[in-house]
Structure formats: C-alpha cells, structure tokens
Amino acid sequence: MPDNNHGNHSDRINVKNISPAVIKRLPRYYRYLGDLLRNGVVRISSNELSNRMNVTASQFRQDLNNFGGFGQQGYGYNVEFLYHEMGRILGLEEKNNIIIIGAGNLGQALANNQEFDSNGFSIIGLFDVNPRLIGMTVRGVEVYDIDMLESFIRDHEVKIAALTLPKTKAPQVAERLVELGIRAIWNFAPVDLNLPEDIMIENVHLTDSIMTLSYRIHNQ
C-alpha cells in the first residue's frame, strides 16, 4: 500500500492556534521517532508507538491531528516521514543559530552539549564581560567581548539568544538584544523578563523542576 500522505499537511493548518501543551509534547515524539529511525524501523502502528512513548494512542493521534494527521488507518505510520514532518513543524529543518550571553559555568555547559548540533541548532558565539574568558573557545566556539554584540548580530543570522548571566544583569541585556532585532530568548537567569509581547521567551529553571520533585517527595 503506497503512502499517499506525503503532502505538507501543516501548510494547510493554522499552526498558530495549537495549544502549548501539544507543542511541549512534540520534542519527545521527535526524539522517539529519531531513535526508531536510527534502529531501522520503517513503519510502526499507532498503538506500538504510543506504548513506547507512554502516551495513549488517542492522545498521540489527537496531537498529530492538530497538524493534519500523518497515518493511514490500519497501516500505522511511516517513521521516516513522520520524523521529518515533526522536525519541520518544530522548525528544525532550518538552521537555528544561537548565541550565549554569559560564558560561565552554565554558558559553557550549554556550548559543550553536542546534542544541539544534531538537532540543527548551532551555537555560533558566546559573550561575556570577563577579560579572562574573552578570546577563549568552547568546543571551537569563541567567547567574544559583550561590546561585540552589535556588530556580531549585524553580521550573523542569530535566531536565539540564551541568557546564562547573573539575574541582575539579564533584564538589561535582554532589552539590548531585542533592540538589536533578536526575537527569541532562551532564559536561564532566575528572573522574569518584561519584554514586548511579540518576543518569544522560553524560561528554563532547573530549580523549579527539583522543587516539583521535592513537593512530590513530601506530599506522597
């Protein structure tokens, strides 16, 4: 049975109104599909896939239906096709250049993470104020003086700026980044950023996560 579902479904769907809960589940689906693909799995039933991912088959189907659905009743999913479609929906088929502001412990740890590369994210520069860090490289990526920010952003296509600097400095640096045309901020500093509504902010706070675990330990 041929796959006749290889159209760009999401072109026809209004992907702007998808709920954030659905979007949060997509990276996990993408990761599982990538593992299946690397293990040579060509086709998988909706039940088997959802069992592996520990979501219900109906949840998975409903999530995909937001983007037009990608399976054929009775024939399951073509893993490679679904993997690439999911990557396209997540914007991973395009190059996503990242800069990191604050080249301390966390900034360097991010720059050292090879997994970003394999998902189409490229860390192209780190920035800091500390003269001892400026000029060094982390996995081949240079740490620049923060004063170089303007010219760097002008000369490179930067999609995302990660903030790994002290929380007292983060709001002011974030505003400067926005003025320089950055639209997406990956904020690790433990502070809420007050930026124009059209700026996309993704906050990552490990402490929030450990507190959630702590709550569960103490409220069993």
Site mask for ligand NAI (CB under 6 A), range 94-133, x = bound = -------xxxxxxx-------------------xxxx--x
Q: Which of 110, 146, 174, 185 binds ligand NAI (CB under 6 A)?
A: 146
CA distance 40 to 209: 34
Nearest-approach distance from CB 13 to ligand NAI, in angstroms: 33
Give yes or no for a contact between 19 and 33, defined as CB atoms under 8 angstroms apart. Answer: no
In the structure encoding, which two tokens stand for residue 112, read together? 């050292």
Select 52 or 205, whichever has its Cβ closest to ligand NAI: 205
Give yes or no for a contact between 167 and 192, defined as CB atoms under 8 angstroms apart. Answer: no
Q: Which of 34-42, 111-119, 175-183, 199-207 is the region at the interface with ligand NAI (rule: CB under 6 A)? A: 199-207
In the structure encoding, which two tokens stand for residue 97, read together? 């250049």
Give yes or no for a contact between 29 and 63, defined as CB atoms under 8 angstroms apart. Answer: yes
Select 79 or 170, whichever has its Cβ closest to ligand NAI: 170
Residue 149 as a binder of ligand NAI (CB under 6 A): the answer is no
Find the residue with minimal CB distance to ligand NAI. Answer: 104
CA distance 84 to 80: 6
Residue 165 as a binder of ligand NAI (CB under 6 A): the answer is yes
Nearest-approach distance from CB 51 to ligand NAI, in angstroms: 32
- 31, 115, 100, 136: CA torsion to nearest 10: 180
Q: Which of 3, 205, 210, 214 binds ligand NAI (CB under 6 A)?
A: 205
Q: What does the DSSP assignment read for 82-137? A: HHHHHHHHTT-SS-EEEEEE--SHHHHHHHT-THHHHTTEEEEEEEES-TTTTT-E
Q: Which of 21-29, 37-45, 184-192, 210-218 is the region at the interface with ligand NAI (rule: CB under 6 A)? A: 184-192
Q: Which of 2-10, 25-33, 65-73, 167-175 is the region at the interface with ligand NAI (rule: CB under 6 A)? A: 167-175
CA distance 193 to 175: 9
β partners of residue 201: 185
Kindly state the number of chain residues that form the binding site for ligand NAI, as judged by CB under 6 A: 25
Residue 212 as a binder of ligand NAI (CB under 6 A): the answer is no
Residue ranges binding ligand NAI (CB under 6 A): 101-107, 127-130, 133, 146, 164-167, 169, 173, 188-190, 204-206
